[in-house]
Amino acid sequence: MTKEEVRNRLYDRYIKPTENKKNLYIGVEIEMPIVNLEHKAVDFEIVHRLTGEFLKEFHFTPTGIDEQGNIYSALNRENGDIFSYDCSYNNMEFSFGKESELHSIHGRFRRYYDFVQDFFRPYHYTLTGMGINPNRLVNHNVPIENGRYKMLFHHLSSFAKYAWLPMYFHRYPQFGMFSSASQVQLDVTKERLPEVINIFNQLEPVKALLFSNSVLLGENEGLLCCRDMLWENSTHGINPHNVGMYDCEIKTVDDILNYISTTAIYCAEREGKYLNFKPVNILEYFTLEKLTGEYLENNQIHSMEFQPKPEDIEYLRTFKFEDLTYRGTVEFRSACCQPISDVMTVSAFHLGLLNKTEELQNLIKSDTSLYHKGYNAVELRRQLVKKEIPAYTDENDLYSLAKGVLDICRQGLSERGFGEEIYISPLYERIEKHTNPARSMLEQLKNGVRIDEIVKEYS
């Protein structure tokens, strides 16, 4: 394919679905770590038994079965909800079919969550609202045995091959097996894509202040949200345009398409096998006559030569904080899993602000507590995921800015008329106390509270 043909296909996949949108639908994805309260590894046999009982109780149909015959994904065909395990059987995920308001989603979440907790209780297991599994060092951090997850783990484990690159790689290729997120997808029209992506990109520092909840306990407790580092300093971040924030201003739809054209592809599928290869720019990929990919079979790495095909665009995977999807939605994916009592805060926050881009822009333009201090939004986010508040800003002023953002959010939710503003009440409490879930956890540990007690509190 020529570069123009590739761009046209990228347009059809990512931009065209946003044309002529009339309704606003919400898609919510909530990942949660499974924790053995006896501080032992999770027994996957217990997890598999839970899966069988869950599917029977809520009439889900299996959609994903691993190489050992275990179900890792299932669908409720009536409401579109998906029950699954993300990367490993240590991490459970509920993905909800699209809805027009949050109450329906929250109601179904509570029913699913309560059922799982009732099943786990006799085994001294629990789901909890933490962005990092507190038992990650004792768990079996192995991928789900299917082609995609084994390929992904192989890709992340291959960082030593790229030692020649001028970038730092962390030593946690298994991070997908112990990290959990709270993500929301919202319908956005083509005309509004640039302003939505741009303003939410600028809001990422404030989100770090409110939602940080992933700490590598005992290793790096000065980093309240290690989620950014885990993605950006892995092989996903070899091309930095595949991950994290936008370090440029998005003004037009062409800017978005141009940006997508700079991202890299690193996997494809041939003969039923997921192939991993050195990340290559998507435009360059289709100029190559052939590539060599690797796949895992019988615990052995094998090589396969293959030629690019136009359909491979479906395997272009990016992990931006504001990620344009093939569904015609923007997926907001920078927030850690939240304490279960606050489970809807992330969704409500983004939903309330979606139609308030002008008010947000005016707030940021006039702010002097955080913005306009000589740092761009990317740099500010990297500072505010840390425990120490930067010296150039006053902490009270910083939280006043966060309250200003939240007041705009509350207005946006109130105007929707569903009473969804109740879901952001915990965020006002965080602002009042100058805290977030990660900061609160560390303070409790400092005061002698045991981690298992915090696990229960966050569950």
* Average pLDDT, rounded, for the chain: 97
Of the candidates 459, 420, 176, which has an alpha carbon nearest to the alpha carbon of residue 338? 459
| Cα–Cα distance measured from residue 65 to residue 339, given in angstroms and rounded to the nearest whole number | 30
Of the candidates 291, 19, 294, 355, which has an alpha carbon nearest to the alpha carbon of residue 154? 294
329, β-bridge pairs: 187
Q: Which amino acid, residue 106?
A: H
**Cα three-residue angle 429-430-431, rounded to 5 degrees:** 90
26, β-bridge pairs: 99, 186
Q: SS3 sequence, the chain?
A: CCHHHHHHHHHHHHHHHHCCCCCCCEEEEEEEEEEECCCCCCCHHHHHHHHHHHHHHHCCEEEEECCCCCEEEEECCCCCCEEEECCCCCEEEEECCCECCHHHHHHHHHHHHHHHHHHHHHHCEEECCCCECCCCCCCCCCCCCCHHHHHHHHHHHHHHHHCCCCCCCCCCCCHHHCECEEEEEEECCHHHHHHHHHHHHHHHHHHHHHHCCECECCCECCECECHHHHHHCCHHHCCHHHEECCCCCCCCHHHHHHHHCCCEEEEEEECCEEEEEEEEEHHHHCCCCCEEEEEEECCEEEEEEECCCHHHHHHCCCEECEEECCCCEEEECCCECCCHHHCCHHHHHHHHHCCCHHHHHHHHHHCCCCCCCCCCHHHHHHHHCECCCCCCCCHHHHHHHHHHHHHHHHHHHHHHCCCHHHHHHHHHHHHHHCCCHHHHHHHHHHCCCCHHHHHHHHC
List, in order of start, the domains of the chain with CATH numbers.
3-458 (3.30.590.20)
| Cα–Cα distance measured from residue 369 to residue 206, given in angstroms and rounded to the nearest whole number | 11
Q: CB-based contacts of 377: which residues, under 8 Å, 6+ apart?
A: 201, 202, 204, 205, 245
Cβ 422 vs Cβ 344: under 8 Å = no
pLDDT-derived band at 306, boundaries 50, 70, 90 = very high
The alpha carbon of residue 353 and the mean position of all alpha carbons in its chain are separated, in whole angstroms, by: 19
CA distances from 229 to 104, 169, 192, 226, 393 (A): 34, 9, 30, 5, 23
pLDDT digits (tens, 9 = 90+) for 399-421: 999 999 999 999 999 999 999 99
pLDDT digits (tens, 9 = 90+) for 181-198: 999 999 999 999 999 999
Predicted confidence (pLDDT) at residue 340 exceeds the cutoff of 90: yes
pLDDT digits (tens, 9 = 90+) for 322-334: 999 999 999 999 9
| Cα–Cα distance measured from residue 12 to residue 9, given in angstroms and rounded to the nearest whole number | 5
Instruction: Count other Cβ atoms within 10 Å, centred on residue 79.
Output: 14
Predicted confidence (pLDDT) at residue 1 exceeds the cutoff of 90: no
| Cα–Cα distance measured from residue 353 to residue 384, given in angstroms and rounded to the nearest whole number | 21
Q: Which two tokens stand for residue 167?
A: 């970038």
* pLDDT on residue 433: 98
Predicted confidence (pLDDT) at residue 22 exceeds the cutoff of 90: no
Predicted confidence (pLDDT) at residue 299 exceeds the cutoff of 90: no
Average pLDDT estimate for 103-108:
98
Predicted confidence (pLDDT) at residue 20 exceeds the cutoff of 90: no
pLDDT digits (tens, 9 = 90+) for 223-265: 999 999 999 999 999 999 999 999 999 999 999 999 999 999 9
Cβ 108 vs Cβ 81: under 8 Å = yes
pLDDT-derived band at 281, boundaries 50, 70, 90 = very high
Structure-token match 């980093």, residue found: 223
Q: Which two tokens stand for residue 142?
A: 């192995």
Predicted confidence (pLDDT) at residue 298 exceeds the cutoff of 90: no
Percentage of the chain lying above the pLDDT 90 cut: 98
pLDDT digits (tens, 9 = 90+) for 438-457: 999 999 999 999 999 999 99
